[in-house]
Amino acid sequence: MLAASAAAAFAISSDRQDLTISGAGITNNSGLVQNFATDGPNGAGHRGTISFIGGAKAGVQTVFANVRASTQFFDYSTADSGVFVNHSGIDLVPGGKTTFYDNSTAGNATFTNECSKVSGTTSFYDNSSAGTGNFTNNASSCPLICATANTSFYDNSTAASGVFTSNGGAQVVGATYFYENSSGGTAQIKLFGGSLSLEDHNAPGVTIGSLEGNGGVSLGPNRLRIGSNNLSTIFSGGIHTGSGSLEKIGSGTLTLSGTNSHTGGTLISSGTLEVTRDGGLGTGGVTVTTSGATLRLQTGATNNYIADTAVFSIVSGSTADLNFEGPPDTVLALVVDGVVQPAGLYGSAASGAPHQLPEFTGSGEILAATATTPTPTPITQATNLSTRLLVGTGDNVGIGGFIVTGSGPRHLLLRGIGPSLLNWGIPNPLVDSVLELHGPAGFQTLANDNWRDTQEAEIIGTGRAPTNDLESAIVADLVPGAYTAILAGNASTTGIGLVEIFDLSTNHDSRLANISTRGNVGTGDDIMIAGFILGGGSGEDTIIVRGLGPSIPINEPLPDPKLELRNSQGGLMASNDNWMDDPSQASIIQAAGLAPSNNLESAIAATLMPGEYTALLSGVNNGTGVGLVEVYDSPVIGPTPSPTPEGSATRVGHPRR
């Protein structure tokens, strides 16, 4: 323990030496400021450190000046109410540092990181905490070329209830960084020309208390949740860089008065999010997720708050305060309680809009899904394809293949459902689903365990978010080609699962052509069930369904499959055991190039009106094994192509793992 008497003020210097303080730490009874300094050489050589260990405290009325050296905290030690100044370095000489390790805390101390060619820093590692400390990252007087003065969080450290102010400079700004699994707690982030970065943080992102100022926020692929301290703040800077998303939480009001470019969407889960500038909500979907939450739009120049290509979703009891005059804010689609609304003009009763919603207030209007050019006559096609099956392990996981045909990309939502099947009376559901999406050469594999982990805002914006947080979902824009979705259980668990593909696109230059799912076919509730929805038009559509088993090159295939095709009421429309049994059906199937290679396998050709249908694959005489059910939408009728072991240009064939 170091103690200062009532009459003494002194300075302790650790110049190229190490000073370790343990026990109670520093006790200052003098009523005067006591000064501590660490320093090091201008070149190579040992740099001085002051280290606090155990439960040692840095005391009150203590000032620590770190010049080319550092003050460190270990174990459960605390910076208490000290003042720490991390001076900038010279040329390539490191700047001063204050570093926290283990379970140490910044207490109620004050920290200033100065900027120069090599800047001062404050860093947190392990499980350390910023406490209620006050941190300033300076850069306003920085030369043209310098390093960023910053406060950084690593490992499982937390910003706790600290206050972080980052100032701007001519070239480099002060910054706060979150890395790995660190957290923001209820911290106040103040960016006056400075920056906040989540780019290198692990998913799903960071929660902070509040955000204010005029600096920049870099999200990377992560979610930034703002509002845990319930303060009301104004942020006029930009939220940008990456596919990340923004979520308003807490009871306060966050006002966004700048232009933002994040692409992952914006959620309003509680409190009020106020947007006062065009482009203030980025380019992704916008969702008011909770009853009582409010989105307020006002004072934009052209009322373009929500992107024209974005989906705007609200729930009953929430509020969309359209507090603006003039032209409506155009959105791709309007979703209320998960239901897509008809195209048209929406507003409150006071607005006089043709479509009036109780969730809307103010005089402004929302224009949903308007077309500026003539729309082609819609064609009936598959808009949803899904398969329910028994998900095993190894070769017995669920493997769903599908094809996107045409010239343009399709905007698709894939879901891996398990736990919520219990709500529908289905026994033995998959308790924790994991979903992977593989594609053509050059396609980067996408994966998801719990749907809120990565693309939560985008998924909610589709209006088709899973109802259980342990279920999986992926949103992707896919160019024409063959794709494979793999549904498995987390930690090799097994059970009944559902893999689904929803087509969210509005363009007509491509289509979702088919789905083919491979997996275990059991008996009773464990047979394989493929569901599909035909929509997008009013005319008929031709489909071919196949049930394969013996031809699958795998151990224990389904020896003799049979198929049933049923409508949405469960009525039997067609059935088949061996595909060649019906000569007229067989000729259609052969003309499409989709004749099974084994006569024991099943196939059905049907021309259907828009609606919901299911194809049931089971084994003759309660046979079991690995089976493959395929649904082809609008197959091309023509010469039968040469057989291809793993599929051809017109079909997926056996989905790959």
pLDDT by residue (tens digit) across 16-56? 568 899 999 999 888 888 888 877 555 444 467 899 999 99
* pLDDT at position 572 over 70: yes
Region of 481 (left: φ > 0; alpha: ψ -120 to 50; beta: rest) is left
DSSP 420: G
Average pLDDT over residues 358-380: 68
- Residue 190 CB-density burial (10 A; 0-12 exposed, 13-18 middle, 19+ buried): buried
* pLDDT at position 126 over 90: yes
Average pLDDT over residues 475-495: 91
- Residue 431 CB-density burial (10 A; 0-12 exposed, 13-18 middle, 19+ buried): middle
Half-sphere exposure of 92 (CA within 13 A, CB side): 3
- CA proximity to 503, closest of 604, 421, 412: 412
CA–CA–CA angle 227, 232, 233 (5° rounding): 95
CATH class of 381-633: mainly beta
Q: Kindly report whether the global pTM for this prediction surpasses the value 0.75.
A: no
**Which comes out higher in pLDDT, residue 236 or 609?**
236
Question: Whole-number mean pLDDT of the chain?
Answer: 83
* Beta strand ranges found along 25-149 (DSSP E): 26-28, 34-39, 49-52, 60-66, 70-73, 81-86, 97-100, 110-113, 121-124, 134-137
Q: Which residue has the tokens 């939408």?
A: 633
* pLDDT at position 297 over 50: yes
Average pLDDT over residues 158-173: 85
Do 528 and 498 meet the contact criterion of CB atoms below 8 Å apart?
Answer: no
Query: Residue 471: its pLDDT value, please?
Result: 95
CA–CA–CA angle 504, 509, 512 (5° rounding): 50
Do 546 and 629 meet the contact criterion of CB atoms below 8 Å apart?
Answer: yes
Do 87 and 63 meet the contact criterion of CB atoms below 8 Å apart?
Answer: no
Average pLDDT over residues 348-370: 92
Query: Residue 646: its pLDDT value, please?
Result: 30
Average pLDDT over residues 279-289: 91
Do 153 and 129 meet the contact criterion of CB atoms below 8 Å apart?
Answer: no
Model confidence band, residue 569 (pLDDT cutoffs 50, 70, 90): confident
Residues 99 and 113: their CA atoms lie apart, in Å, by: 12
Query: Residue 462: its pLDDT value, please?
Result: 86
Query: Residue 16: its pLDDT value, please?
Result: 56
**Which comes out higher in pLDDT, residue 210 or 264?**
210
Complete edge-to-edge strand list for the sheet that includes strand 205-208: 205-208, 223-226, 245-248, 266-268, 286-288, 311-314, 333-336, 339-340
Percent of the chain predicted with pLDDT > 90: 48
Residues 288 and 290: their CA atoms lie apart, in Å, by: 6
First-to-last CA distance in the chain?
Answer: 64
Query: Residue 652: its pLDDT value, please?
Result: 26
Question: What ranges in 392-524 are assigned the alpha helix state H?
Answer: 456-461
* pLDDT at position 118 over 70: no
List the chain domain ranges.
Answer: 381-633
DSSP 610: S
